[in-house]
Structure 1
């Protein structure tokens, strides 16, 4: 006889299996909800991880931010409270027991409303972490709530009314859990996290433009030194390194998806020198732009 946790896990696993039967990712009618299935380990992949909770129910995944590696599985979830440049890899999966995961984007507005409505105690500022990513312990109640949300896709007429309620339940359960302080920092207008989040959003929208740290610091109401310190604390990068990551990631996408030549992609993302672009690309991805695109194209074809 299986216990309540295992019952909830298997129920959610079956629902994810159903909706991902024809591919590795399923984006359904519920806003912010994504389902994933991988039948084998994959190569490390650089990507921008948006604020979300990832709840695996089978297999194992690793996410690296700077020098820190976060491994999560059927008993641990990953929560990110900022948009962060990470390297992700499914490390344990096979056709019999594929990696299965549900990912739900976080909504700072709803989280802020919950904190006010439920009069949730604001943690002492000294206990608020200078980090935008954390692992948490998956509970039976969390699995059941996520399972009910995924289950709504079998009753699409109920989604407009019930999906927002279930999302609020999931966010509330996170708020009152040990990872709640990470959500507080994300929704508080006063927190360092919120200021860094604003800096990140500006960089994402303007990464092609020359960057002046003093101007960016002024935009988010911080001194240049504080911006640099807290930006590195949260993202493991300086603002300039973050901008470089955005440029190179976009150039990689342009070359792979649109077939753009490296020299043209370099100018398109803000580089004035193709040779500088090639050097920095090789330092980040470990090989030249042309060779990297060739290997990625082969993987996609396979």
Structure 2
């Protein structure tokens, strides 16, 4: 494991020269580097595998905190609004991470070939899972990243190695979440359809019965499984999406607080300010001023 991590760190270090996220020539693969701890910032995770080669990161989902490093990989099974920050990094030993967007169609096809039953009556797995990194998964990831040094091999070999990585996730320890992702009729995928609808309509009123119908679930069952996966209710989920986008508007587009609140669906500036302060700890204007300094 130590030699594999050193190899992965070297590859990421060569191809991610600046801080931030670097897209690569391999479809669905990006590299992340940070030379110092970062300010907690909102981000929406898609179905993703994050494998750290060096350093440590923290993500917060509602009231749950997940800390991961080279010993554990992070798997996001649905689109989730998170607060992420690098908590261990330095110029001498930067945070280095490889991120893979998961191909759910290919995952489902592999699951059919390597069948394992999924109990539909059990509670859905959480949308974020941390699992111990195995030598088999890490070895495949290193071989995938190494293709960046030989770009002429990417077209022929990357799909094969990506398939192996999905296989390792399906058959390795902690594969319960991945198996649910691969089953089109699983409760997790039913909730994922509802999440997609909420993300596309978060500025509008959220009628629970309508969203439950989209998930093809009863209202009571939908609430139970939605909270198990996202750790929040559908309305809380919508509120977090609104506040994340409002924060982005104020930071990236210099929109004032009242306008940002209105654009994400709030009718009352005071309600927007209360919700914002409850989530981020300070009122909107003060929070954005702090982030700009940081």
* Shift in Å, 1:205: 0.6
The alignment status of 1:170 with 2:165, answered yes or no, reads yes
Match of 1:23?
19
Q: Which one is further off, 49-58 or 118-127?
A: 118-127
Q: TM-score scaled by structure 1?
A: 0.92
Asked if the contact 2:118–2:180 (Cα under 8 Å) also holds between the matched residues in 1, the reply is: no
Deviations 1:234-287 (A, max 9, x none): 111110011111111111111111111212111111111222111111111111
* Shift in Å, 1:128: 6.7
SS in 2 for 1:22: coil
Match of 1:13?
9
> Number of matched residues?
294
How far apart in 1 are the matches of 2:225 and 2:61? 15
How far apart in 2 are the matches of 1:130 and 1:25? 28
* Shift in Å, 1:129: 4.5
Q: Which one is further off, 203-212 or 283-292?
A: 283-292
The alignment status of 1:79 with 2:75, answered yes or no, reads yes
Q: Which one is further off, 41-50 or 75-84?
A: 41-50
Q: Which one is further off, 125-134 or 35-44?
A: 125-134
Deviations 1:15-44 (A, max 9, x none): 000111123321112221111111222232
The alignment status of 1:285 with 2:248, answered yes or no, reads no
Asked if the contact 1:128–1:185 (Cα under 8 Å) also holds between the matched residues in 2, the reply is: no
How far apart in 2 are the matches of 1:277 and 1:190? 37
Asked if the contact 2:56–2:68 (Cα under 8 Å) also holds between the matched residues in 1, the reply is: yes
Q: TM-score scaled by structure 2?
A: 0.94
* Shift in Å, 1:92: 1.6
- Tell me: CA distance 1:217–1:126, structure 2 relative to 1, closer, same or farther (3 Å): closer
Q: 5+ residue gaps in structure 2?
A: none
Asked if the contact 1:85–1:235 (Cα under 8 Å) also holds between the matched residues in 2, the reply is: no
SS in 1 for 2:130: strand
Match of 1:239?
234
The correspondence for 1:64, drawn from 56, 60, 66, is 60
RMSD (CA atoms)? 1.6
How far apart in 1 are the matches of 2:125 and 2:19? 37
Q: Which one is further off, 220-229 or 149-158?
A: 149-158
The correspondence for 2:251, drawn from 250, 256, 262, is 256
